[in-house]
Amino acid sequence: MVDHKTFKERQQSVTLDGIVDEPVQINYTDVGSGTPIMLLHGIPT
């Protein structure tokens, strides 16, 4: 199991344009191999 500090250190950040009216910044963790998947969490506003 990965602790919170290690998880945060692995995160990368990217800004996505064209999804909504303004750019959206997301953080992600890239681990493993194979086809990537994206899990979204939050309340759309």
* Alpha carbon distance 1, 7 (integer Å): 10
pLDDT at 5 over 70: yes
Judge whether residue 37 has pLDDT over 80.
Answer: yes
Query: pTM for the complete prediction?
Result: 0.55
Average pLDDT, integer, range 27-36:
86
H or E element that contains 27: strand 24-28
Q: So what's the pLDDT on residue 44? A: 65
pLDDT (mean) for 28-45: 79
Q: Is 14 helix (H, G, I), strand (E, B) or coil?
A: strand
